[in-house]
Amino acid sequence: MEPAAFTPESPALVLAPTDQAPGQARRFLVERFQELGIAETYVGRIVVTELVTNSYKHVGFGHIVVRVLPDVRDGLVRIEVWDQGAGTPEVRPENYEATSGRGLLMLAQLVQDWGVRPLVEEGKVVWAAYAP
């Protein structure tokens, strides 16, 4: 059996579900990227903004928890946003007349992979992984 590679617990940011949360999450991401030695933050800021905005707008209660961690197995950075909502985000079909609802479609184009992991206790983790 191959030994497992463990990484120390990644710092987390706990947010209230308000319109201030996306900006706080962006600042946290930039700080984490600096700690990890990653200079390019543009895509990461878009991703964390979309995920946190979805949490506060579509869930609107409980805490939002953000983590940013390197995935040493494949060289990607993983952004995770936890919330207590039961709903599962879905990419909507393109609609040129819509005034919202394009965020996950955009996110899916920017990252190598993304998904949703339901939590046993309550809520979910929406994550995205990409190469900065």
Rounded mean pLDDT of 6-16?
A: 80
* Per-residue pLDDT tens over the stretch 73-106: 889 999 999 999 988 887 777 777 766 667 888 8
Residue where the block lists tokens 């990252």 = 111
Joined together, the tokens standing for residue 103 give: 């965020």
* Per-residue pLDDT tens over the stretch 102-129: 788 889 999 999 999 999 888 999 999 9
Name the residue among 82, 69, 52 with its Cα closest to residue 129.
69
pTM exceeds 0.75 for this model = yes
